[in-house]
Amino acid sequence: MAFRFKQFSVEDTACTMKVGTDSVLLGAWTAVNGSSKILDIGTGCGILALMAAQRSSAGIIGIDIDAASVKAAHGNFSRSPWSGRLTAFNLSLQDFCTKNPLQFDHILTNPPFFVNSLKAPLPSRNRARHNDELPFPELAECCQQLLKLEGKLSLVLPVKEAELFLEIARENGFYLNRTLEIRPYTHRPANRMLMEFGKKPDTETTTDWLGIRGEENYYTLEYRKLTKDFYLDF
C-alpha cells in the first residue's frame, strides 16, 4: 500500500519489509546534516533513503538483495522531489563492498536481526528479517571499510540484538557515540535501540530514551516532535 508523508509517498506492496516505526524513528533521529554521500543498507522500499534526502543535500545509494524491493525503491525515488540524488542497486552488502571504491559520510541501516530463529515460509521475508546472509560481523566489517574516517554508522535493533552488535562493532574499531532507547509506552521497558557509531573515540556516549505512547495510549510530545517533519497528522 502507499504511505503518504509530508514531502513524499512510499509504495511498499511488493517489498519484503513494509514501512514501519523502526525505520521512521531512525530516519528522523540520525544526524545526516552535512553529509555528501550516504549509503542505505537493506533499503527495501527506500524509506530511510527518502528521509535522509529530505534532511540533507547528499547523494544517496540504497542497496538490497531483494529485486522486487529495489524496483519499488526506484519507483519511490523517481516520484520524490529528490530523484536526482537517489539511486538503488540490487546487490548484497558484501558484493557492494567488494565492487565499490566509494567511501561514505553516513551509513544507515535497519538490518535483518533474527539470529538462529524460526523462519517464515516465504524465503524473501526470511532474507529481510534473519541475518543468515548478513551476519553482524560482516555488517560491521563492511561498514568499517565503506565509512570515511569522520563518518557515522546509524542503525536500529531490538535491545538484545543491539547489545550483541555493540560488542561486534567495538571489535571492528567502532565507538558508540550516542543511543536512543525506544519504549513503546513510557511506563514499559525499551524494546528498540537507535545507535550511532563513529571511527574515533568520543569523550562520552550520549544516552537518552523516548516513549512512543503515554499511559493513556496517546502519542507523546517527544515522539511527535521527532517525527513531525514526516507524519501528516503531526
How far is Cα 223 from Cα 135, in angstroms, rounded to an integer?
31
What pLDDT, on the 0 to 100 scale, is given for residue 159?
96
Residue 23 inside a domain? The answer is: yes
Q: Is residue 233 part of a domain?
A: no
The CATH number linked to 221 is 3.40.50.150
In the prediction, which pLDDT does 81 show? 98
Report the distance separating Cα 65 and Cα 51, nearest Å.
21
Residue 174 lies in a domain: yes
Q: What is the pLDDT of residues 105-118, one digit of tens each?
A: 999 999 986 455 44
Question: How many Å is the Cα radius of gyration of the chain?
Answer: 17
pLDDT < 50 positions in the chain: 114, 117-119, 122, 124-131
Domain that holds residue 136: 2-227
The one-letter amino acid at 198 = G
How does pLDDT run across 28-79, given as a tens digit for each residue?
A: 999 999 999 999 999 999 999 999 999 999 999 999 999 999 999 999 999 9
- Report if residue 175 sits inside a domain: yes
Domain assignment present for residue 234? The answer is no
Q: Does any domain span residue 196?
A: yes
Residues 6 or more apart whose CB falls under 8 angstroms from that of 14 comprise: 68, 69, 71, 72
